[in-house]
Amino acid sequence: MTMMTGAQYIESLRKLNTRVYMFGEKIDNWVDHPMIRPSINCVAMTYVLARDPEYTDLMTATSHLTGRKINRFAHIHQDTEDLKKKVKMQRLLGQKTGSCFQRCVGMDAFNAVYSTTYEIDEKYGTHYHENFKKFLIYVQDQDLIVDGAMTDPKGDRGKAPHEQTDADLFVRIKEVREDGIVVRGAKCHQTGSVNSHWHIVMPTIAMGPDDKDYAVSFACPSDAEGVYMIYGRQSCDTRKLEENADMDLGNKNFGGQEALVVFDDVFVPNEYVFMAGEYDFAGMLVERFAGFHRQSYGGCKVGVGDVVIGAAALAAEYNGVEKASAVKDKLIEMTHLNETLYSCGIACSCEGCQTASGSYIIDLLLANVCKQNVTRFPYEIVRLAEDIAGGLMVTMPSEKDFQSDTPVGREGETIGEICHKFFAGNGTCSTEDRMRVLRFLENICLGSAAVGYRTESMHGAGSPQAQRIMIARQGNIQGKKKLAKKLAGILK
């Protein structure tokens, strides 16, 4: 099968019987729901660009399993060049959508599961790696979206999975059958889960012998029996439900998506099982997935950052302050911070190495440094963007006010005329364009798109402390002490 078009991808979602709930009700036509469709448009862009000759080198790759041309999001990294192209591809898509295009988690899951299953098989003589390769070939040939599902609800964070009062707070194997396993539990804030054809589930933490039932990895269709999703809401999300909403939406065509994915006694055939009780490899799988995903943020968040910087520069121009030295300096600082994030993403890619399976993994220390910076720099970029934009970004009247023909002024001016008069900018742009860029900044800094930028920069791919733990583990402090001792002439 050739790679799908964006339109074909959207139509493929209509063929699924995915169970989606929102605001306490089942959503039958979720593909066209105004709160969900922008996130689908984001994923569709990964198909659109893959078929654009201008972006072929970044967006596609040659499968090492079949030799066929595939979307890079379904590729297993074969060298450091692949790792770099991944980051560049993610920056491109961030620029094109200004939001989260949701496909990174699946790509990162593919690469983590690929190398980990190889090493499980080497130790235990299992067949997980072959299972996964067959599944991946199917995904590549059908050009499918697969959600990578790692984060469990966790319950009491001070207790291991087996110690929880409610055993379902971590996804677990409830029953082992001759032909497969039955799983129960849930995965939280799953990016793009509703828009995916399949899911790959992975353990969320390193585990011990008592957590054996929770050391599970598998694939299942989004519409498998027993799978359902409860859509996560976002700030300003109901604006999309307003009649004829346009200007007030900001980034109206694109957006992110998160959901709670519940596995209610889901049967998984053996051919889709990639780990089932090998608790000693749970930590490896988590560490590798987290590393790949932390690398990803050096691309996707940078692309969205490019858009934020551009919008802030536009706001400055429309406000008539683009030549002010203070504004120029703020834009320079935003650019500096953004390019520093990109440098980290590229650096951990360049320093990647080969795993036992033959695939390539990033430098884990630098990947964690990359994500640690992402937990900070986008917040400063947003702060500076809001500083440049001014308070009108969060105080302006609604789109309906700007369009209103209700008389209100002494000379019969309408509400709309009054709004256009008093919110005019520097005279070179229309009032509407000024309002559009401010609404766009509001949306991307504070509203629905914040899921794809500001707040997700903090918690996506692990919260800050998770990276600090990995940096401490991989920072080789003892080795650095030896360097210091030698130069200082300390003999012991």
Instruction: Measure the CA–CA gap between 297 and 246, rounded to whole angstroms.
Output: 29
Q: What is the pTM of this model?
A: 0.96
Active site residue 104: yes
Active site residue 293: yes
> Could you say which of 18, 97, 114, 258 is catalytic?
258
Active site residue 429: no
Active site residue 162: no
> Could you say which of 114, 118, 297, 360 is catalytic?
297
Active site residue 56: no
Determine whether 418 is exposed, middle or buried from the number of CB atoms within 10 Å of its CB (0-12, 13-18, 19+): middle
Active site residue 100: yes
φ, ψ at 89 (rounded to 5°): -65, -45
Active site residue 9: no
One digit per residue, pLDDT tens: the chain, 492 residues? 689 999 999 999 999 999 999 999 999 999 999 999 999 999 999 999 999 999 999 999 999 999 999 999 999 999 999 999 999 999 999 999 999 999 999 999 999 999 999 999 999 999 999 999 999 999 999 999 999 999 999 999 999 999 999 999 999 999 999 999 999 999 999 999 999 999 999 999 999 999 999 999 999 999 999 999 999 998 889 999 999 999 999 999 999 999 999 999 999 999 999 999 999 999 999 999 999 999 999 999 999 999 999 999 999 999 999 999 999 999 999 999 999 999 999 999 999 999 999 999 999 999 999 999 999 999 999 999 999 999 999 999 999 999 999 999 888 899 999 999 999 999 899 999 999 999 999 999 887 666 778 888 998 899 899 999 999 999 999 999 999 999 999 988
> Could you say which of 42, 236, 300, 429 is catalytic?
300
Is 80 annotated in some ligand binding site? no
Q: Is residue 380 a contact partner of residue 373, using CB atoms and an 8 Å limit?
A: no
Determine whether 149 is exposed, middle or buried from the number of CB atoms within 10 Å of its CB (0-12, 13-18, 19+): buried
Q: What angle do CA 358, 361, 363 make, to 5 degrees?
A: 140
Q: What is the CA radius of gyration of the chain?
A: 24
> Could you say which of 42, 104, 419, 445 is catalytic?
104
Domains of the chain: 6-289 (2.40.110.10), 300-477 (1.20.140.10)
Which position has the token pair 């790696």? Answer: 129
Structure tokens, 282: 């749970």
Active site residue 272: no
> Could you say which of 278, 287, 442, 456 is catalytic?
456
